Amino acid sequence: MMDLNTQIKTFLFSVLFGILFSFIIDIIHKKLFKLNILLQIILSFIFVISSSLIYFLILLKLNNAIIHPYYIIAFIIGFLIEYVLKKIFKRIVLLFKKWYNSFGG
């Protein structure tokens, strides 16, 4: 049985790792877009495997690598948070560009 402090730390780590993972996936896919499709698949596979290993190694330090379903859900929530934040920031940037251009910028 885990104490509440460890569970909260692991939950927050899962959310933050999901955000980081989603951000890095976006960057990698933008950079790999120009490569051969087979090379894209191989490099994406290597990245996912290495990220999973890092996630489990950090979980090993936090809570002896105990995985509960809500940690996976927290990871997915972090992934979705990054996606939504990216959309919001794009809209804000577009609004500022329109506002700036409306003043003759």
- Mean pLDDT (10-residue bins), the chain, 105 residues: 89 95 87 80 90 94 89 93 94 90 76
Question: From the centroid of its chain, how far is CA 94?
Answer: 23
Helix (H) or strand (E) holding 76: helix 69-102
Q: Give pTM, 2 decimals.
A: 0.82
**Residue 96: both structure tokens together:** 């500022």
Per-residue confidence (pLDDT) for residue 105, from 0 to 100: 61
Look at residue 35 and give its three-state secondary structure. coil
How far is residue 14's CA from residue 87's CA, in Å, rounded to a whole number?
21
By C-alpha distance, which of 51, 73, 71 is closest to 2? 71
